[in-house]
Amino acid sequence: MTGTHINYYFICQRKLYLFDHHVTMEHTSDLVHLGRLLHEESYERDAREIFQVELPGGESFRLDRITADGVIHEIKKSESMEEAHIWQLKFYLWCLKQEDIWPVRGVLEYPKQRQTVQVELSEDDERQLSEIKEKITAICALPQPPHVSKMSICKKCAYNEFCWG
């Protein structure tokens, strides 16, 4: 399970299922490409440390940036899916805490809006993340993808043509 699984759980469970089954559409999306460019060009003056975390059991994730004072920085294009971004970062904090890489805290950065959001992990968040992981496992184990539901985010989604085309 990765941070992307957590993120997609909050955005669209069909997208989560397709991603988990290696149906990836991001490579065809101009919006995804623009997001990657923003990510690469943001905070160029800062020392950028891409930190690959490999956990026992095969889970791994990549942190956008971690500073010497233990702050994990996640760079996102827009705050329109902020709940998903917050839970993705909480998942990273939770995984690091389980590996005794603690204390750390997180910051979501939205460079285009020049906004930041402080993210901390509570005991309640940890319980919720455990439940979310179980729900994600159940969704990904379904024999077919969940039924498609039209949402406002569909028009900007990389899977739009797959679901609606």
Residue located via tokens 């005794």:
100
**What is the model's pTM?**
0.83
Res 129: pLDDT: 97
pLDDT tens-digit map of 19-44? 999 987 765 545 544 545 555 555 55
Q: What is the dihedral of CA 157, 39, 137, 162, to 10 degrees?
A: 20
Domains of the chain, by residue range, sit at: 3-160
pLDDT tens-digit map of 81-121? 999 999 999 999 998 888 887 778 999 999 888 999 999 99
Res 139: pLDDT: 97
Distance CA 101, CA 115 (A): 27
Class of domain 3-160: alpha beta
Res 42: pLDDT: 57
pLDDT at 141 over 80: yes
pLDDT at 7 over 70: yes
